[in-house]
Homo-oligomer: A and B are copies of this chain.
């Protein structure tokens, strides 16, 4: 029996309606930018397996470091205990994070990092004697699939069964260069009720909303308003973190820094699950008390897993090398050229880019998970490129180690796909 056949027996895949999409492609090998399936077909991983393996699959440096760590210390309770991989990671991170970030809290995935961010915002006020019950978030934001994270996600096409159980969230549009005054006016009304605990947002690029990009100056005005009105700002950089936007973090493009940041995905270079919620000293201080109940009573068993910390530390070392920094610049420039090449194509509605994140909207009506989207996905795969269109948006977020030749192939296949839609 093939792996694909065996898969169907017991596995329930994420974000999948199995009756409509019964076939899962079995991948048997991954190296650099190449995925190999069980029939020996190869695919360029042009979305870095959901934006994770930025230094290439099975990166020799990262896997070597993790193999060594596996011989030394695999796991220990992180409450009352600590270890070198977590400490070294914290030092390396603080060195590259926005300069107001000063404390690091561990969890296992983007959803939990956002849950912790929300809890930090709510309890920050609670510990100061103010019970606030409202969060602000962007329309079309996506922050994860647990109840707290779902609540702040505006992209809730499929949240029907759960939305009666969500936190109270008010939504604002993303800043587009023209609506800033209107947004600030809305914020003022919300803030006047004095019930807003925090603002949760994806800075500059909204990933699941199909790489929707917004105005940095407008975002700065929003963050500045929050800062002046004691609204805790929580930057969800799960997708944008670690170089994607051309700087180490999207928040570094914006003058007003966030109080809290959520990180995952590329954090461990695509090797292992881990997430972080970082924060400023102001947030930490609100929990630091002689009153035990003012502490943050949140914890996951594998918090700060030493192997995941090691993978993250090795990844951050790679991120800071000249080679990777040069690649980020080269890919960014290459995407700009490609954008110019396709932007006037009659099937192309618009293009946009932030750092190595490139997106192209087709001038075609498509459902998020509809047939035309599936046809496009199949075309890419048949041509040896793993791209995952979201509705009528085709986007690239390839590993930093992609070669010019591989990148050119990705561009060519996208151009060819324009004739089938």
Contact = CB atoms under 8 A, between A and B. Distances in A.
Contacts of A160: 126, 293
Nearest to A266: B301
Contact of A104 (B12, B77, B111, B291): B12
Interface string A71-115: 111111111111110110011011000000011111111111001
Interface residues of A, number: 126
Contact of A58 (B50, B70, B94, B108): B70
A377 to B, nearest CB: 8
A356 interface: no
A184 interface: no
B106 A14 contact: yes
A164 interface: yes
A159 B110 CA distance: 22
Contacts of A193: none
A85 B147 CA distance: 29
B19 A288 contact: yes
Given A51-B301, A108-B109, 11 more contacts: A7-B86, A9-B91, A11-B87, A11-B104, A12-B284, A25-B81, A28-B83, A58-B74, A77-B388, A110-B301, A146-B146
Interface of A: 3-4, 6-7, 9-21, 24-30, 35, 47, 49-53, 57-58, 63, 66-67, 70-84, 86-87, 90-91, 93-94, 102-112, 115, 118-119, 122-123, 126-127, 131, 133, 144-149, 151, 157-162, 164-165, 167-168, 264-265, 270-274, 279, 284, 287-303, 305, 307-308, 369, 377, 388
